């Protein structure tokens, strides 16, 4: 049995070990044994009430120091409400900044959901007292990410060992815990604070009540082909499976020759190639024929990032310029369902199947694609799976796995481009943002060996995707 010493924290002149800390938690009834109804409705033989720590300042300070030993950061956010005073002490102790998450927005003043000051892309450490399912941490991480912060880690005082660590890992959050229920039971049993029978009862309860509330493992690509309604979406999943690639390279060159040259190099590695026809100064019908030939040769789809957003008839006229060669085209949801009708009408006139991608979220700083607008885009896409292939987004917005999520702003190296573009790595895009397809631009096209760069991105993105996808 470990005793006072190396695994401890200074509390004034006293060195408090994890063992002593657990005993103190028991002494102030922050941990209770008996029969307790949980929020889930289950009757639990153990209950952790760390809210009482605010009445014991020395113990509260010890708690903060132990959490800092497990993980620290330059920006912190305590999960409301128990972790707020703990996070405050942690931040003051190391000179870190804090942001405060509200559970509900005020109906006056700024109506902010997150208070404080932070920089775009800054990493924020989430602080929590107890995790069971990880739901509160996941909600906090999602909100902070929506406000431009990066969240990769959570530090928690006590892990109930019921699935939170695995759940949060699936959402791109690594849990660093000070103690676990197993350790609490070990210490309290050793010191005869609880009986062996009670400890076994708690272990049985935890073993029989595992819960994972994070995003479930993705269905297999074969299953998603069956779930998809739009024929182009089916082809996306089919190509991903055949090429073992979830990479889309954005080729934004200004001449047709440059575009075709880049695609010849990256074609073997990609599932999709993204283009901006209107920036190519010498675009011709011959360019379109060559693109389609390359798509057939290397088995990838062509994606025109036109972002159509007008009344249906105008969209139909605009779409006629791209649906003859593009398999996918982006639309904004602001115009409503008429935008989808315009694309479908244009594609039908060309005798082609084309899938619309609704831009529900964007990777540029300060963009307005959020909140009610994003929710409206998701509802529109889920309601028109015949016309919609999926979403362009920065997070997993829909649980309908018959729709594809494509996430732009992916780069292995930099946090931004010096302008308004914000980047995440392929791993973050898939694990944290829920991407099926990662969209990489300058990370590939800006390299001298574009083929090698594409292969590198393909490997990282696909290996990460395989961790989430049923085989």
- DSSP secondary structure string for all residues of 280-292: -TT--HHHHHHHH
Q: Could you tell me the pLDDT band of residue 309, with boundaries at 50, 70 and 90?
A: very high
If one compares 367 and 112, the residue with the highest pLDDT of the two is 112
Q: Which structure tokens are listed for 424?
A: 């995440």
CATH of domain 221-468: 3.20.20.70
pLDDT of residue 40: 58
pLDDT of residue 414: 54
Q: Which of 193, 307, 466, 468 is catalytic?
A: 307
Cβ within 8 Å of residue 449, ≥6 positions away: none
Closest listed residue to residue 353, CA positions, set 263, 221, 228, 250: 228
Q: What is the DSSP letter of 216?
A: P
The CB-side HSE value for 187 (13 A sphere, CA atoms) comes to: 21
Q: List, in sequence order, the alpha helices (H) in 71-180.
A: 83-94, 135-146, 164-169
Residue pair 430/465 in contact by the 8 Å Cβ criterion: yes
pLDDT of residue 106: 57
Q: Is the pLDDT of residue 331 over 60?
A: yes
φ, ψ of residue 431 to 5 degrees: the values are: -75, -45
pLDDT of residue 136: 92
Express each pLDDT in 82-124 by its tens digit: 999 999 999 999 999 999 998 765 555 556 899 999 998 899 9
Q: Is the pLDDT of residue 39 over 70?
A: no
Cα radius of gyration (the chain): 26
Torsion of CA 102, 103, 104, 110, to 10 degrees: 10
- The residue extents of the domains of the chain are 8-208, 221-468
Q: For residue 131, what are the β-bridge partners?
A: 159
Structure pTM?
A: 0.61
Express each pLDDT in 53-71 by its tens digit: 999 999 999 999 999 999 9
pLDDT of residue 3: 36
Torsion of CA 157, 161, 164, 170, to 10 degrees: 120
Tell me how far apart the alpha carbons of residues 467 and 171 are, in angstroms, rounded to a whole number: 12
Q: Could you tell me the pLDDT band of residue 422, with boundaries at 50, 70 and 90?
A: low
Share of the chain above pLDDT 90, in %: 72
Q: What is the mean pLDDT of residues 170-174?
A: 85
Express each pLDDT in 368-414 by its tens digit: 777 788 889 999 999 999 999 999 998 888 889 999 999 998 988 75
Q: What is the mean pLDDT of residues 24-46?
A: 87
Express each pLDDT in 113-125 by its tens digit: 999 999 988 999 9
- 307 catalytic, yes or no? yes
If one compares 432 and 352, the residue with the highest pLDDT of the two is 352
Closest listed residue to residue 152, CA positions, set 75, 100, 247, 64: 75
pLDDT of residue 110: 58
> In 44-62, which positions are buried (b, 16+ CB within 10 angstroms) versus exposed (e)?
bbbbbbbeebeebeebbbb
- Within a 10 A sphere around the Cβ of 297, how many other Cβ atoms? 11
Q: Say which CATH topology domain 8-208 has.
A: Rossmann fold (3.40.50)
Tell me how far apart the alpha carbons of residues 98 and 217 are, in angstroms, rounded to a whole number: 33
pLDDT of residue 369: 73
Cβ within 8 Å of residue 383, ≥6 positions away: 337
């Amino acid at each position: 049995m470990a005793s006072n010493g190396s695994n401890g924290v200074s509390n004034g002149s006293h060195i408090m070990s994890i063992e002593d800390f657990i005993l103190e938690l028991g002494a102030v009834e922050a941990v209770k044994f008996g029969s307790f109804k949980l929020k889930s409705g289950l009757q639990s033989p153990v209950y952790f009430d760390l809210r009482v720590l605010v009445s014991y300042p020395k113990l509260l300070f010890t708690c903060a120091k132990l959490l800092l030993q497990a993980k620290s950061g330059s920006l912190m956010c305590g999960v409301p409400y128990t972790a707020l005073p703990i996070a405050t002490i942690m931040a003051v102790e190391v000179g870190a900044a804090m942001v405060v998450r509200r559970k509900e927005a005020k109906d006056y003043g700024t109506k902010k959901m997150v208070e404080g000051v932070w920089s775009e892309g800054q990493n924020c450490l989430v602080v929590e007292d107890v995790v069971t399912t990880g739901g509160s941490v996941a909600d906090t991480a999602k909100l902070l990410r929506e406000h431009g912060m990066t969240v990769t880690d959570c530090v928690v005082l006590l892990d109930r060992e019921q699935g939170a660590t695995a759940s949060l890992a699936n959402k791109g959050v690594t849990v660093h815990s000070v103690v676990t229920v197993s350790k609490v039971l070990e210490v309290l049993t050793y010191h005869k604070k609880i009986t062996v029978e009670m400890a076994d009862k708690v272990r049985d309860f935890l073993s029989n009540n595992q819960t994972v509330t994070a995003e479930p493992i993705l269905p297999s690509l074969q299953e998603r082909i069956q779930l998809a309604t739009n024929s182009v979406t089916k082809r996306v999943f089919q190509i991903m499976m055949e090429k073992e690639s979830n990479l889309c390279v954005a080729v934004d060159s200004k001449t047709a020759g440059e575009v075709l040259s880049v695609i010849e190099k990256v074609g073997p590695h990609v599932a999709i190639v993204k283009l901006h026809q209107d920036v190519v100064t010498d675009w011709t019908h011959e360019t379109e024929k060559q693109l389609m030939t390359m798509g057939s040769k290397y088995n990838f789809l062509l994606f025109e990032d036109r972002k159509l957003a007008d009344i249906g008839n105008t969209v139909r006229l605009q779409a006629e310029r791209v649906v003859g060669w593009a398999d996918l085209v982006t639309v904004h949801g602001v115009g409503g369902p008429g935008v989808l009708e315009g694309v479908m009408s244009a594609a039908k006139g060309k005798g082609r199947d084309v899938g619309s991608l609704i831009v529900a979220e964007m990777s540029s700083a300060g963009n307005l694609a959020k909140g009610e607008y994003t929710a409206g885009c998701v509802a529109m896409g889920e309601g028109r799976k015949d016309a919609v292939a999926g979403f362009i987004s920065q997070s997993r917005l829909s649980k309908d796995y018959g729709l594809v999520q494509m996430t732009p702003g992916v780069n292995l190296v930099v946090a931004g481009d010096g302008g308004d573009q914000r980047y995440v790595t392929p791993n973050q895009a898939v694990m944290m943002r829920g991407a099926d397809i990662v969209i990489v631009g300058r990370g590939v096209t800006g390299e001298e060996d574009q083929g090698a760069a594409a292969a590198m991105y393909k490997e990282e993105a696909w290996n990460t995707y395989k961790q989430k996808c049923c085989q």
